């Protein structure tokens, strides 16, 4: 929807947004009346609807359009699964303890916060321009004291390099940094101890005996992999295909502090796309080839830089910056999804993981990072996990997690194959028989051919790795060229995994949508696209008009609701009569049949205040009846961002608002169909 409103009049004010989200119950700290628990949040009615709408669009954009196989797997997972996957050993963060208070801090966050505060103090001391508004908020939020103190140019450069490479450091590296740069707990100014690993999985125990340790899954992915054989069978044995799952996961974060951006319990949406490792082309890559993205690749970051490049997906794959077509295809589809739900494309970049930063299973990984008041935040990961997961689970359980591909034409090969006279071998060489067999069977084709030549001349000498020599004869060993025919190719597929943190997407979307009216900073607006807005249409009923009551009862004695609606839309006399009887409910029901979720706001306050409340809830359109328009069977339609009001016949307004909600027409096109209405403007 295009509008001509200037939304940047007031600088983004995080405090105001947070107050709005709290006041309108988008979300709130969980267990608030018990004092709350860091990193746990509850979604209220508008937050739940917004989340449900984002999920519905995700399901459509990925599962339906790409014919993915949906799964719903278990959260509570027996320990052996995560031992195999590597999570028990490696799914951990480095934490440091305050040496005096025992408070626990995430080590990398400590480094980041302290160094950024020092750099800010340096800028202040140098009398440089204040950093942008968003950065100011960040510092305030983290409560790290900034002192104006000039640093040497070398130190500034060193700090900046450390910050750019931060995700690349080991625990020992961070311990070293803390000592070298005297990094202390900013809350207490105490020293911190050596970094220690803390496993981020919540542990529990399954069953009444206490003998079966379990973990809450930190991702949904393992549930896909363990079901691979069933999924492949469901897909008639064909590859490529993808499974998809939307569900809750848990990470016992060390010290979550960033609202919805770092939480202990969250809803994820994950895709596991299984592909032939020898063919990572994608059937529909041509459809996305020209999608332009902001990229921040591995090499730039490893050089300690932060400069991005705008490039088409096609070019990035052609140049080998993105590893393969399938990875590139999903990066582009992720981009399209995020733009569709309302993320600002200029504040969305794709950052490649550095070598040491990458998860233990991945061979290439790109994060969709969305800019917000705390910086750039990873909201979607898109990793090529190669064959790692399927291989380790298969090895551990003995259950083959492979694709068996019938070859159209069998592969015919000729091979030199050694054949033993086992009896003669044992008799001649006794305890050395095994050693001799091993040596020959580890030979490649060239060595076997050479050996065959020697045997043809009566005997051959073979040498063990320890230097022992053995003489063999054709009586014991013959080597023959045989024709082999392979009609089935068996392989472990590679997995490309787009993984979405829905809470992070939801929060950054709220930041990108929030602004205040030009003339009145108190009037917040959430410009959510109709596609994801919790409520699409606000229905503002007239106040009850009790004088019509007797007439209404007479009219309504017989017809059922749909009939009433028809009457309502055809006869102005009856229509007027029905006003107090809930025309708004009938209208809501008509919109519901058109697939549009509306809400009636019949609270006891002015129409202007009701619109203002619904601007805060992100409701894109509002309809109301004006007393004067009742005789003409007209209704007004209001657009949220412009506050523009139009008027038209009831049926036409319903038709227009339906097309607006489904994105078939723009507001400008709607204006061409409905004349302006100036009568109520004054109320706002």
Q: Which residue from 12, 169, 250, 515 is in contact with a second copy, where contact means CB under 8 A?
A: 250
d(CA 46, CA 27) in angstroms, rounded, equals 8
Q: How far is the CB of 285 from a second copy (least distance, A)?
A: 17
Span near a second copy by CB under 8 A; candidates 11-19, 248-256, 323-331, 568-576: 248-256
Among candidate residues 49, 62, 70, the one with its CA nearest the CA of residue 531: 49
d(CA 27, CA 136) in angstroms, rounded, equals 24
Q: How far is the CB of 227 from a second copy (least distance, A)?
A: 6
Report the residue number, 233 or 409, with the smaller CB distance to a second copy.
Answer: 233
Q: Which residue from 333, 351, 393, 504 is in contact with a second copy, where contact means CB under 8 A?
A: 393
Span near a second copy by CB under 8 A; candidates 264-272, 312-320, 416-424, 546-554: 264-272
Q: What is the largest CA-CA distance in the chain?
A: 120
Residue 636: strand, helix, or coil:
strand
Enumerate residues 412-441 that contact a second copy by CB under 8 A.
none
Alpha carbon distances (Å) from 303 to 18, 161, 356, 656? 37, 8, 14, 54
Q: How far is the CB of 533 from a second copy (least distance, A)?
A: 15
Q: Which residue from 20, 81, 321, 574 is in contact with a second copy, where contact means CB under 8 A?
A: 81
Check residue 665 for interaction with a second copy (CB under 8 A): no
Enumerate residues 555-594 that contact a second copy by CB under 8 A.
592
603-607, Cβ contacts within 8 angstroms, sequence gap of 24 or more: 606/683, 607/540, 607/680, 607/683
Cα radius of gyration (the chain): 33
Report the residue number, 613 or 673, with the smaller CB distance to a second copy.
Answer: 613
Q: Hey, CA dihedral for 602, 603, 607, 608, is it positive or negative?
A: negative
Cβ-based neighbours of 629, under 8 Å, separated by 6 or more? 635, 636, 647
Q: How far is the CB of 336 from a second copy (least distance, A)?
A: 17
Check residue 392 for interaction with a second copy (CB under 8 A): no
Report the residue number, 254 or 509, with the smaller CB distance to a second copy.
Answer: 254
Enumerate residues 394-413 that contact a second copy by CB under 8 A.
397, 399, 401
d(CA 653, CA 635) in angstroms, rounded, equals 7
Check residue 220 for interaction with a second copy (CB under 8 A): no
Q: How far is the CB of 80 from a second copy (least distance, A)?
A: 6
Report the residue number, 243 or 301, with the smaller CB distance to a second copy.
Answer: 243
Q: Which residue from 3, 7, 57, 80 is in contact with a second copy, where contact means CB under 8 A?
A: 80
Q: How far is the CB of 209 from a second copy (least distance, A)?
A: 6
Q: How far is the CB of 571 from a second copy (least distance, A)?
A: 26
Output phi, psi for 254, to 5 deg.
-70, -55
Helices marked H in 375-483 — which ranges? 388-397, 422-429, 433-441, 445-456
CA angle 434, 436, 440 (to 5 degrees): 120
Please count the CA atoms within 13 angstroms of the CA of 377 that sit on its side-chain side: 24
Report the residue number, 54 or 293, with the smaller CB distance to a second copy.
Answer: 54
Alpha carbon distances (Å) from 192 to 94, 141, 505? 12, 22, 34
Report the residue number, 137 or 610, with the smaller CB distance to a second copy.
Answer: 610
Please count the CA atoms within 13 angstroms of the CA of 101 that sit on its side-chain side: 13
Enumerate residues 467-506 that contact a second copy by CB under 8 A.
none
Q: How far is the CB of 242 from a second copy (least distance, A)?
A: 11
Q: How far is the CB of 69 from a second copy (least distance, A)?
A: 4
Q: How far is the CB of 257 from a second copy (least distance, A)?
A: 12
Q: How far is the CB of 127 from a second copy (least distance, A)?
A: 41
Category of 564 on φ-ψ map: left (φ > 0), alpha (ψ -120 to 50) or beta: alpha
Check residue 33 for interaction with a second copy (CB under 8 A): yes
Enumerate residues 176-205 that contact a second copy by CB under 8 A.
198, 202-205
Report the residue number, 299 or 609, with the smaller CB distance to a second copy.
Answer: 609
Enumerate residues 222-241 that contact a second copy by CB under 8 A.
223, 226-227, 229-231, 233-234, 236
Report the residue number, 71 or 275, with the smaller CB distance to a second copy.
Answer: 71
In terms of Cβ atoms closer than 10 Å to its own Cβ (0-12, 13-18, 19+), residue 34 is exposed
Check residue 37 for interaction with a second copy (CB under 8 A): yes
Give bridge partners of residue 599 from the DSSP assignment: 538
Enumerate residues 535-554 that contact a second copy by CB under 8 A.
none
Enumerate residues 200-219 that contact a second copy by CB under 8 A.
202-209, 212, 214, 216
Residues in binding contact with a second copy, number by CB under 8 A: 75
Enumerate residues 597-626 that contact a second copy by CB under 8 A.
597, 603
Which helix or strand (DSSP H or E) is residue 385 part of? strand 375-386
Report the residue number, 376 or 597, with the smaller CB distance to a second copy.
Answer: 597
Q: How far is the CB of 230 from a second copy (least distance, A)?
A: 5
Residue 381: strand, helix, or coil:
strand
Q: Which residue from 13, 17, 24, 271 is in contact with a second copy, where contact means CB under 8 A?
A: 24
Cβ-based neighbours of 266, under 8 Å, separated by 6 or more? 248, 249, 250, 251, 501, 502, 503
Report the residue number, 233 or 346, with the smaller CB distance to a second copy.
Answer: 233
137-143, Cβ contacts within 8 angstroms, sequence gap of 24 or more: 137/14, 137/373, 138/373, 138/374, 138/375, 141/14, 141/258, 141/373, 141/374, 142/113, 142/186, 142/257, 143/186, 143/187
Report the residue number, 53 or 636, with the smaller CB distance to a second copy.
Answer: 53
Among candidate residues 418, 467, 458, the one with its CA nearest the CA of residue 440: 418
Residue 339: strand, helix, or coil:
helix
Span near a second copy by CB under 8 A; candidates 28-36, 177-185, 347-355, 458-466: 28-36
Check residue 638 for interaction with a second copy (CB under 8 A): no
Report the residue number, 149 or 234, with the smaller CB distance to a second copy.
Answer: 234
Q: How many residues does the chain have?
A: 684
Q: How far is the CB of 43 from a second copy (least distance, A)?
A: 4
Q: How far is the CB of 603 from a second copy (least distance, A)?
A: 5
Check residue 28 for interaction with a second copy (CB under 8 A): yes
Which tokens belong to 156? 């500034």
Report the residue number, 233 or 466, with the smaller CB distance to a second copy.
Answer: 233
Cβ-based neighbours of 177, under 8 Å, separated by 6 or more? 111, 162, 169, 183
Report the residue number, 155 or 231, with the smaller CB distance to a second copy.
Answer: 231
Enumerate residues 39-78 that contact a second copy by CB under 8 A.
40-45, 47-49, 51-52, 64, 69-78
Report the residue number, 71 or 311, with the smaller CB distance to a second copy.
Answer: 71
Q: How far is the CB of 46 from a second copy (least distance, A)?
A: 8
Category of 674 on φ-ψ map: left (φ > 0), alpha (ψ -120 to 50) or beta: beta
Check residue 104 for interaction with a second copy (CB under 8 A): yes
Report the residue number, 11 or 544, with the smaller CB distance to a second copy.
Answer: 544
């Amino acid at each position: 929807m295009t509008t001509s409103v200037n939304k940047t009049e007031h600088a983004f004010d995080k405090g105001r947004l947070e107050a709005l989200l709290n006041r309108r119950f988008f979300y709130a700290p969980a267990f608030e009346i018990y004092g709350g628990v860091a990193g746990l949040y509850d979604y209220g009615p508008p937050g739940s609807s917004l989340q449900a709408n984002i999920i519905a669009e995700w399901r459509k954009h990925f599962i339906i359009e790409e014919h993915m196989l949906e799964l719903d797997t278990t959260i509570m997972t027996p320990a052996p699964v995560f031992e195999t996957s590597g999570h028990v050993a490696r799914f951990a963060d480095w934490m440091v303890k305050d040496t005096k208070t025992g408070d626990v801090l995430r080590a990398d966050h400590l480094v980041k916060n302290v160094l950024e505060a020092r750099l800010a103090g340096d800028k202040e001391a140098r009398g440089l321009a204040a950093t942008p508004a968003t950065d100011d908020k960040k510092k305030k939020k983290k409560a790290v004291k900034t002192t104006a103190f000039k640093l040497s140019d070398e130190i500034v450069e060193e700090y900046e390099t450390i910050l750019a490479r931060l995700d690349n450091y080991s625990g020992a590296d961070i311990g070293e940094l803390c000592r070298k740069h005297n990094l202390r707990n900013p809350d207490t100014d105490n020293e911190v101890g050596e970094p220690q690993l803390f496993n981020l999985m919540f542990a529990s125990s399954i069953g009444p005996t206490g003998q079966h340790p379990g973990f809450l899954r930190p991702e949904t992915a393992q549930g896909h992999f363990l079901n691979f054989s069933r999924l492949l069978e469901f897909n008639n044995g064909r590859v490529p295909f993808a499974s998809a799952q939307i569900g809750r996961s848990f990470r016992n974060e060390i010290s979550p502090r960033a609202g919805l951006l770092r939480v202990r319990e969250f809803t994820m949406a994950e895709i596991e796309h299984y592909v032939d490792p020898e063919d990572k082309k994608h059937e529909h890559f041509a459809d996305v080839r020209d999608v332009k993205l902001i990229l921040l690749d591995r090499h730039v970051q490893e050089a300690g830089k932060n400069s991005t490049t705008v490039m088409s997906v096609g070019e990035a794959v052609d140049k080998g910056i993105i590893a393969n077509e399938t990875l590139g295809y999903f990066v582009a589809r992720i981009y399209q999804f995020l733009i569709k739900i309302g993320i600002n494309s200029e504040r969305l970049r794709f950052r490649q993981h550095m070598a040491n930063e990458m998860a233990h299973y991945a061979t290439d990984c790109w994060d969709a990072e969305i800019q917000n008041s705390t910086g750039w935040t990873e909201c979607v990961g898109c990793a090529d996990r190669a064959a790692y997961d399927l291989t380790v689970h298969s090895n551990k359980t003995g259950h083959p997690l492979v694709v068996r591909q019938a070859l159209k034409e069998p592969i015919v090969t000729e091979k030199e194959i050694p054949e033993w006279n086992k009896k003669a071998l044992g008799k001649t060489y006794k305890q050395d028989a095994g050693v001799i067999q091993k040596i020959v069977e580890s030979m490649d084709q060239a060595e076997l051919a050479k050996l065959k030549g020697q045997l043809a001349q009566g005997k051959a000498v073979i040498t063990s790795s320890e230097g022992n020599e053995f003489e063999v004869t054709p009586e014991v060993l013959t080597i023959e060229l045989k024709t082999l025919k392979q009609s089935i190719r068996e392989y472990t597929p590679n997995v490309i995994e787009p993984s979405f943190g829905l809470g992070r997407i939801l929060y950054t979307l709220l930041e990108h949508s929030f602004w205040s009216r030009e003339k009145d900073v108190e009037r917040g607006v959430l410009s959510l696209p109709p596609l994801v807005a919790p409520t699409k249409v606000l229905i503002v009923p007239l106040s009850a008009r009790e004088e019509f009551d007797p007439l209404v009862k007479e009219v309504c004695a017989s017809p059922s609701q749909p009939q009433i609606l028809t009457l309502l839309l055809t006869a102005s006399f009856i229509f007027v009569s029905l006003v107090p009887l809930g025309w708004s409910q009938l209208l809501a029901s008509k919109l519901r049949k058109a697939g549009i979720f509306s809400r009636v706001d019949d609270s006891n306050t002015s129409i202007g205040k009701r619109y203002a409340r619904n601007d805060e809830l992100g409701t894109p359109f509002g309809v109301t009846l004006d007393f004067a328009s009742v005789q003409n069977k007209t209704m007004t339609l209001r657009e949220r961002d412009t506050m523009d009001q139009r008027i038209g016949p009831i049926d036409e307004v319903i038709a227009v608002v339906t097309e607006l909600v489904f994105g078939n027409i723009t507001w400008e096109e709607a204006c061409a169909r409905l004349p302006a209405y100036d009568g109520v403007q004054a109320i706002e």
